[in-house]
């Protein structure tokens, strides 16, 4: 008799363990995945994959506009390569999503590259939805998280001009405050 009691307890223990694992898988993994999804801006620019994480983003929200700047906060070594992307759009956050601002709602995207050195050489590109160079789509605003996509071809702002910069598969996910 004592052995049957041990087997019965083990079956209940295994059943409880399986039920607990199923609950964690159904509930806990979703929450963990949501916590892992951090703020970021990602794009392929001139064939090179660029990614800026949460520490490299500055998001500014003013009535009727949103600005996202992605770059390092402080250069820390000589000859450091520093890419930067800025995206500014007129956008009403209380409106319906998804939304792709069309002119006269203005969206401007700028991209710069420079190497921190004694004689830095800045390369700058820019474009807007006014001239059809870029398209920005704001997919959703859930809680404080604003997500969207962008792409386009930016023209050089340097003299003499550099070749145009092509932006593909650009995405952003940024907290817009509370």
Structure token digits, residue 116: 């921190």
Residue 163 has pLDDT above 70, yes or no: yes
DSSP 8-state secondary structure symbol assigned to residue 55: G
Check whether residue 45 and residue 30 sit in a common domain: no
pLDDT value at residue 116: 87
Q: What is the pTM of this model?
A: 0.77
Check whether residue 16 and residue 87 sit in a common domain: no
Q: How many domains does the structure of the chain reveal? A: 2
Check whether residue 50 and residue 122 sit in a common domain: yes
Structure token digits, residue 145: 């998280």
Where do we find the tokens 């083990």? 10
Check whether residue 55 and residue 106 sit in a common domain: yes
Check whether residue 76 and residue 95 sit in a common domain: yes
pLDDT digits (tens, 9 = 90+) for 78-116: 889 999 999 999 998 888 999 999 988 999 999 999 998
Check whether residue 3 and residue 48 sit in a common domain: no
Check whether residue 9 and residue 53 sit in a common domain: no
Dihedral Cα 124, 89, 167, 49, nearest 10 deg: 90
Q: Which domain holds residue 19?
A: 1-36
């Amino acid at each position: 008799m004592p052995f049957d009691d041990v087997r019965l307890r083990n079956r209940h223990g295994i059943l409880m363990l399986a039920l607990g694992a199923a609950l964690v898988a159904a509930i806990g993994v979703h929450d963990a995945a949501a916590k892992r999804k951090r703020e970021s801006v990602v794009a392929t620019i001139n064939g090179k994959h660029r990614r800026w994480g949460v520490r490299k983003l500055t998001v500014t929200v003013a009535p009727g506009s949103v600005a996202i700047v992605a770059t390092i906060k402080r250069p820390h070594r000589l000859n450091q390569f520093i890419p930067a992307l800025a995206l500014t759009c007129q956008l009403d956050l209380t409106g319906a999503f998804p939304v792709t601002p069309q002119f006269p709602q203005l969206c401007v995207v700028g991209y710069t590259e420079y190497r921190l050195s004694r004689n830095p050489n800045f390369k700058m590109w820019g474009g807007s939805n006014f001239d059809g160079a870029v398209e920005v789509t704001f997919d959703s605003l859930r809680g404080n998280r604003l997500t969207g996509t962008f792409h386009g071809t930016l023209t050089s702002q340097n003299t003499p001009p550099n070749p145009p910069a092509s932006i593909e598969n650009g995405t952003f996910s940024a907290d817009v405050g509370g």
